[in-house]
């Protein structure tokens, strides 16, 4: 398993030499200060502080480097940069939701998301500088196997509330498909309908599916985006081992962050990984789900980790267009420049107000679109957006794509 996560990322090193690659150092140098990333960044829009956007982070990191490494810097700062300078840098870096939107705006092609992630890696991994709640979440994941500090054996409680749960599903030892549920869907009451809906869809489609229940551990995403990639290895090893003993050749996810993490960090060349939207599109294409024509204006919001993260923009749109046809409306902006819901980058752990304020922009866009239903493909996006819409007393409904398929789809086996 060694080597999956760059080894040097796992080193706890406080000598000042951090985990930036030469390419990333070049990127720090290549920033033209054009400010396009400020235009892209909703965290900056809310906070009005440049240090939360890439331009400011780059500027601060370069300054720290100059203070600590350059000849003049060392003369002026014999003890290195001050703790305050590092703290200010940390505050900015941990206010970024890692949505990656600025990457779509940067005219010189800086990989902003990876750069911001590496900054976290340097702060949290190499310097142990991180928000307090990230430290608590880290302990929770390492000790309990989930980010919420709940007993992990309660992970599949949402399934136990389902009426049509087949006997023996939870203890199944072999299956063709593993449904990896993820922490938010498993434990957050606000979105428990999402895994319930997806499991129902899988069962209606006669898929030989299993859950790991209490043996499912956090995929590692919250640690990786927190800058603690080394700690995620334990999760990766455990989940991979459980998958192998189940013998499944396909893993399905309703959470794009789990899907992203498995796709990028798990050593699985021979296993097919599918997001729920891709799985549902396959059912639509095979004629196993059909939708009646409808006159409900529907829109779709691209989750960051599914769209910009995994490049999947088409699958959910194909499903929705097969239902709504001309009543499907795009949000503006959408696709690769889609707005962030605010709930990414672990920021909700230490700054929930920022998350809500960021979401305001997305909710505005949804209201502007004229849609009566906004479909999302991420439990975290749904949780945050639903809350915002409720606060506004809006009549617009939010549904996850799995709930949408269950509510509006006709399953062939069911109807024939």
The nearest distance, CB 405 to ligand SF4, in angstroms, is: 30
Residue 204 binds which entry of another protein, ligand SF4, ligand HEM, none, CB below 5-8 Å type-dependent:
none
**How many binding residues for ligand HEM (CB under 6 A)?**
4
Residue with tokens 């046809």: 325
CA atoms within 13 A on the CB side of 397: 11
Residue 76 binds which entry of ligand HEM, another protein, ligand SF4, none, CB below 5-8 Å type-dependent:
none
Question: Is there binding between residue 386 and ligand SF4 (CB under 6 A)?
Answer: no
Residue from 46, 55, 140, 184 in contact with ligand SF4 (CB under 6 A)? 55
User: Are residues 194 and 406 in contact, defined by beta-carbon separation less than 8 angstroms?
Assistant: no
The nearest distance, CB 210 to ligand HEM, in angstroms, is: 50
Q: How is residue 318 written in tokens?
A: 């194909």
Q: CA nearest 354: which of 346, 311, 303, 295?
A: 346
Q: Which one of 35-43, 259-267, 384-392, 400-408 is the stretch in contact with ligand SF4 (CB under 6 A)?
A: 35-43
Question: Is there binding between residue 1 and another protein (CB under 8 A)?
Answer: no
Nearer to ligand SF4, 195 or 307 (CB): 307
Question: Is there binding between residue 34 and ligand HEM (CB under 6 A)?
Answer: yes
Q: CA nearest 206: which of 146, 292, 288?
A: 288
Question: Is there binding between residue 227 and ligand SF4 (CB under 6 A)?
Answer: no
Question: Is there binding between residue 268 and another protein (CB under 8 A)?
Answer: no
DSSP string, 66-100: HHHHSHHHHHH-TT-S-HHHHHHHHHHHTT-----
Question: Is there binding between residue 108 and ligand SF4 (CB under 6 A)?
Answer: yes
292: three-class secondary structure by DSSP = coil
Residue from 21, 32, 245, 332 in contact with ligand HEM (CB under 6 A)? 32
Question: Is there binding between residue 99 and ligand SF4 (CB under 6 A)?
Answer: yes
**Three-state secondary structure string covering 342-382:** CCCCCHHHCCHHHHHHHHHHHHHHHHHHCCCEEEECCHHHH
Q: How far apart are CA 236 and CA 180, in angstroms?
A: 13
**Residues 317-346 contacting ligand SF4, CB under 6 A:** 340
Number of Cβ within 10 Å of residue 136's Cβ equals 14
**How many binding residues for another protein (CB under 8 A)?**
42
**Residues 82-111 contacting ligand HEM, CB under 6 A:** 107-108
Q: How far apart are CA 54 and CA 37, in angstroms?
A: 6
Residue 400 neighbours by CB under 8 Å, 6+ apart: 191, 193, 194, 197, 198, 254, 276, 375, 376, 377, 378, 379, 382
Q: How far apart are CA 111 and CA 104, in angstroms?
A: 9
Largest CA distance in the chain: 81
Q: Which one of 23-31, 153-161, 284-292, 372-380 is the stretch in contact with another protein (CB under 8 A)?
A: 23-31
Residue 124 binds which entry of ligand SF4, another protein, ligand HEM, none, CB below 5-8 Å type-dependent:
none
Interacting residues toward ligand SF4 by CB under 6 A: 31-37, 40-41, 43, 53-55, 58, 96-102, 105-106, 108, 110, 112-113, 116, 340
Interacting residues toward another protein by CB under 8 A: 3-8, 11, 13, 17-30, 32-33, 35-36, 38-39, 50, 55, 65, 69, 105, 107-111, 114, 118, 264-265
Interacting residues toward ligand HEM by CB under 6 A: 32, 34, 107-108
């Amino acid at each position: 398993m060694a080597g999956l996560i760059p080894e040097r990322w796992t080193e706890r090193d406080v000598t000042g030499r951090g985990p930036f690659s030469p390419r990333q150092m070049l990127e720090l140098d290549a920033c033209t200060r054009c400010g396009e990333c400020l235009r892209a960044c909703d965290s900056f829009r809310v906070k009005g502080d440049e240090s939360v956007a890439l331009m400011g982070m780059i500027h601060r990191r370069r300054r720290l480097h100059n203070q600590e490494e350059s000849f003049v810097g060392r003369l002026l700062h014999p003890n290195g940069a001050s703790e305050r300078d590092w703290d200010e840098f940390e505050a900015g870096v941990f206010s970024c939701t890692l949505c990656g939107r600025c990457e779509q705006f940067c005219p010189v092609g800086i990989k902003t998301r990876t750069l911001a992630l590496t900054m976290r890696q340097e702060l949290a991994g190499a310097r142990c500088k991180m928000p307090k709640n990230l430290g608590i979440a880290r302990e929770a994941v390492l000790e309990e196997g989930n980010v919420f500090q709940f007993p992990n054996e309660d992970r599949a409680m949402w399934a136990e509330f389902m009426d049509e749960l087949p006997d023996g599903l939870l203890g199944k030892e072999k299956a063709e498909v593993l449904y990896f549920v993820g922490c938010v869907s498993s434990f957050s009451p606000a979105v428990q309908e999402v895994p319930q809906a997806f499991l129902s869809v899988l069962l209606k489609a006669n898929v030989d599916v299993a859950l790991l229940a209490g043996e499912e551990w956090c995929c590692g995403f919250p640690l990786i985006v927190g800058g603690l990639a080394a700690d995620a290895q334990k999760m990766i090893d455990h989940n991979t081992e459980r998958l192998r003993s189940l013998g499944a050749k396909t893993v399905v996810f309703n959470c794009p962050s789990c899907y992203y993490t498995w796709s990028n960090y798990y050593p699985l060349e021979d296993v097919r990984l599918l997001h729920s939207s891709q799985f549902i599109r396959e059912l639509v294409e095979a004629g196993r789900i059909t939708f009646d024509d409808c006159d409900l204006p529907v829109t779709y919001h691209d989750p960051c980790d599914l769209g910009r993260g995994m490049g999947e923009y088409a699958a959910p749109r194909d499903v929705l267009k097969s239902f709504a046809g001309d009543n499907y409306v795009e949000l503006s902006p959408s696709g690769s420049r889609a707005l962030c819901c605010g709930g990414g980058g672990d920021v909700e752990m230490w700054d929930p107000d920022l998350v809500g304020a960021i979401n305001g922009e997305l909710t505005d866009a949804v209201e502007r679109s004229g849609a009566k239903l906004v479909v999302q493909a991420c439990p975290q996006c749904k949780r945050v957006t639903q809350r915002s819409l409720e606060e506004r007393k809006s009549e617009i409904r939010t549904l996850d794509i799995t709930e949408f398929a269950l509510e509006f789809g006709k399953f062939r086996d069911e109807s024939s």
